[in-house]
Structure 1
C-alpha cells in the first residue's frame, strides 16, 4: 500500500491561489473527489495534504478545509503539512495554535518563489529553531542553487526533521544533473533530512520525458539518502503536467525494479508512517 505524502487540493470557490494565474493548466478545481477516483485504484491508502501557497490570510482556512474533508466517511486524509511564514512576527503564536492540533504534521514555506535572502533573515531562522522538540517537520522546496541556504537552516536546527521536496527540484529538461548532484550529495550528509521522491516528471520535457530521463536523478537520490530516509509523494495535480497520477505511480514502480520488498515498503509507506505516526 502507498502513503501519498504530497497531495495538493485546489478549491477556488473557497480559497485564493494567486500563483495559479501563471500556470493555466492548473488554474482549475482539483478536488478530493477528483483525486480519490484515481488514487483508490492505485493502492493509495493514506494521504497527507501539502499546502498550496494560498493567499496568506487564507492559510488557517486551508487547514480547516482539509480537516473537514478528512471527517467525511471513508476519507484517506490523515493530516496536513500546513503553510507558514517564519519571516513574520506572528509565527510564534501561529506555531502554538497549530501545535495543539494533532492533524497538523508539519509546515512548509515555498522558498524558490521569494527572494533568496528570506530564509537568511534572523527572525526566519529563529522561528525555524522553534520547531525543535515539537515533532513537527519542515518541508524544503528549493532550487539546486539554493541548497547552501537549505543546509544553513538545517544546521541551525539539528533537532528538527526536514524533508527535501521533489528530489531537490532538479532541472531535468535543462540537463542540470551535475549541479544538482553536488547539492544532493551535500545535503544528504545531514542526518535530520529526508528526501521526498515526488514531482520530478514536471521538471523534465513535459511532452516527451522517458524513464531513462528520470533514472539518474532517482538513482543518485537513493544512493545519497538510502531507502531509510526516502518517502513518496504524488505532487498531484502538478504531476498531471507530466502524465498524471497513474503514470507517476507506474514510473516509480519501474524505477524500483530490482529493489527488495523491504526497500519498496519503506519508500511507499513505512518511513512516512514512522515519521508522522500515521496509523
Structure 2
C-alpha cells in the first residue's frame, strides 16, 4: 500500500492471459512471438521494477483481450484474490439486447464489485459505423446506467465514431485507450491531432498514455518519437485527464515495462507533484474508482 510519504503508482492498462486455458488468436499474427506465452500478475510484478518519479507500482487495472464472458469472469476472480489488481475492464456483447442482465450477473457479489468498465475491440471491426449502431448505443447507455465506464479502443481513422459517441452519451465516462493509436511510425500526426482535440472537447473523456511505443518503430524508437504525441495530449487533456498505462505485456514488443516507465519519467520532467499524482495515480483512481475492497481470508 502507498502512503503520503511513499505515493503509489497505478498502471491503468495491462493484460494477463493463460494460453493453456484460453487461446488468444490475435497472438498468432506475425511479430508477436516474444509474447506468445502465458502472462500472469506475478510476471507483471517481476517486470515492473522501475519507479516513476519515486513511485513504485501498487495498483493496476486489468483489461480484457478477447470477446469472452468467461475471460471477464476469470479477470474478476483474479482481482478478488490478487491485491495488485484494483479494477477490471471486462467484455460484454454490446449488440445484445440482454446486456443489462449480463452486466447484473457479472457485477454480483464481491468479485463483481471489481468490474469498473467494459471494452470492445472496435479497432478490429470493419464496420465504420460500429459504435453508431442503435443496438450498441443502447447497450452503452445501459453500461452508464450501471455506473460503469467504457474504454474506447480505436485506431486513428475511427475517431468519428468515438466523437459521435461522446456527443450522444455525455453521461457515459469514456477513456481513450492508447491515445487513439497515433501513427508515430509515419510521423504524420496532423489528422490524429485534429481528431484527438475534437474528442478531448468532451469533458467526460479521459485518455491513457499507453500503447505508444508499439505504434512507433519497435526497434528504433526514442523519446523524441514519443514527445510530439505527449505534448498534444498534455495540451488537450491536461494532467487531470491523463493516466499512465503500460499495455504490458504487449509493450514487451517495443522495449518492455521498465523502458516505458523511464520514458514517462523523462516526459514528466519539470512537472509539479500534483501533476505527477494525477497522471501516475489520481486520474486512474478516480475513473476506475480504485478504492479498497474488503478482502476476507479464504476458508482453510
Shorter-chain-normalised TM-score: which range? over 0.9
Residue 271 of structure 1 is matched in structure 2 by 283
* 1:174-201: CA deviation from partner (whole Å, max 9, x where unpaired): 1121111101111100011001111101
Residue 45 of structure 2 is matched in structure 1 by 36
* 1:211-254: CA deviation from partner (whole Å, max 9, x where unpaired): 01100100101100111111111100111111000001110000
**Are 1:16 and 2:23 an aligned pair?**
yes
CA distance in 2, matches of 1:265, 1:157: 29
Give the alignment of 1:177-196 within 5 angstroms: 177-196=189-208
CA distance in 2, matches of 1:71, 1:91: 23
Question: How many pairs were matched up?
Answer: 274
- SS, match of residue 207 in structure 2: strand
Give the alignment of 1:1-279 within 5 angstroms: 1-22=8-29, 23-39=32-48, 42=51, 43-53=56-66, 56=67, 59-72=68-81, 75-100=83-108, 101-115=112-126, 116-279=128-291
What is the alpha-carbon root mean square deviation over aligned residues? Answer: 1.5
Alignment TM-score, normalising by the size of structure 2: 0.87
Does the 8 Å contact 2:116/2:289 carry over to 1? no
Gaps of 5+ in 1: none
CA distance in 2, matches of 1:151, 1:98: 28
CA distance in 2, matches of 1:121, 1:176: 30
Structure 1 stretches of 4+ moved >4 Å: none
Alignment TM-score, normalising by the size of structure 1: 0.93
CA distance in 2, matches of 1:222, 1:174: 21
CA distance in 2, matches of 1:203, 1:149: 21
CA distance in 1, matches of 2:39, 2:186: 29
Deviation at 1:156, TM superposition (A): 1.4
* 1:14-49: CA deviation from partner (whole Å, max 9, x where unpaired): 113221111333321112221111225531000110
Residue 4 of structure 2 is matched in structure 1 by none
Does the 8 Å contact 1:167/1:196 carry over to 2? yes
Does the 8 Å contact 1:197/1:233 carry over to 2? yes
CA distance in 2, matches of 1:26, 1:117: 32
Q: Which moved more, 1:161-170 or 1:38-47?
A: 38-47
- SS, match of residue 112 in structure 1: helix
Q: Which moved more, 1:253-262 or 1:21-30?
A: 21-30
Does the 8 Å contact 1:9/1:30 carry over to 2? yes
Does the 8 Å contact 2:182/2:192 carry over to 1? yes
